[in-house]
Amino acid sequence: MSILQLLEDKRSLSERCDVLHQELQKNARKHEESVRNLEHRHGAEVRRLKSLQETSTKLRQEKWVDEKTRRIKEQTGGCLNVTSLSLLSSYVRNRPVRGLEPEIQRLMSRHAGELSDLQAEKDRALLAQERELHQRHVQHIREIRALWEEEQHDEWQKERKSIAQRYCVAGGSC
């Protein structure tokens, strides 16, 4: 194997490394896109749950106000005026109900866990790919070095034979 062949092998290996590097970058972009999609879904789900919470809270509050108003009317015999009822209903509507907050917190923590799991998986995959690429590179360098040493050894043997033949021919005795 000649030096030109070794250089050609080196060039092809470099191209292969470039291709693998591009593939590694493509996989990294793919993982980043999946993380962005997960974050987007997480945000949409949080918005949906907040909307659901607000709606259910309003319905519960209105039901509670109606029930309390009915009870108060029954207890007072209908003597309660409109101003008192509006004050009562505005007080109730402005009071936050935190019934769905634990569910939202649970979902947020679950999504944060999923995001960290995805990031860890991406890091593991990239590290494994990098290790494999490095091992291939080291193995190829060893093969090229072995071929080069073998070539050098063959060239030295040829040179020794050539010198020995010249000596025998020039000196007359071998």
Q: Collapse the DSSP code of 69 into the 3-class scheme (helix H, G, I; strand E, B; otherwise coil) and give the result.
A: helix
Q: What is the DSSP letter of 100?
A: S
Percent of the chain with pLDDT over 90: 51
Helix 82-94 vs helix 3-76: angle between axes, to the nearest 10 degrees? 160
Q: Once rounded to an integer, what is the mean pLDDT over residues 52-60?
A: 90
* Tokens linked to 139: 């193995």
Q: Given this model, what pLDDT does residue 40 score?
A: 93
Q: Given this model, what pLDDT does residue 37 score?
A: 92
Q: Collapse the DSSP code of 78 into the 3-class scheme (helix H, G, I; strand E, B; otherwise coil) and give the result.
A: coil
- Cβ atoms of 9 and 144 closer than 8 Å: yes
Q: CA-based Rg of the chain, rounded to a whole angstrom?
A: 40
Q: Given this model, what pLDDT does residue 86 score?
A: 56
Q: Given this model, what pLDDT does residue 116 score?
A: 92
pLDDT band at 2 (very low <50, low <70, confident <90, very high): confident
Q: Once rounded to an integer, what is the mean pLDDT over residues 36-65?
A: 90
Q: Is the pLDDT of residue 85 over 80?
A: no
Instruction: Judge if pTM exceeds 0.75.
Output: no
Q: Is the pLDDT of residue 89 over 90?
A: no
Q: Is the pLDDT of residue 106 over 80?
A: yes
pLDDT tens-digit readout, 143-168: 999 999 999 999 999 999 989 888 88
pLDDT band at 118 (very low <50, low <70, confident <90, very high): very high
Q: Is the pLDDT of residue 78 over 60?
A: no
Give the lowest-confidence range in 65-74, 88-97, 106-115: 88-97
As a whole number, the mean pLDDT across the chain is 84
Nearest Cα to Cα of residue 95 among 58, 147, 143, 49 = 58
Q: How far is CA 103 from the centre of its chain?
A: 26
Give φ, ψ of 77 to 5 degrees: 75, 30
- Cβ atoms of 125 and 27 closer than 8 Å: yes
Q: Given this model, what pLDDT does residue 32 score?
A: 93
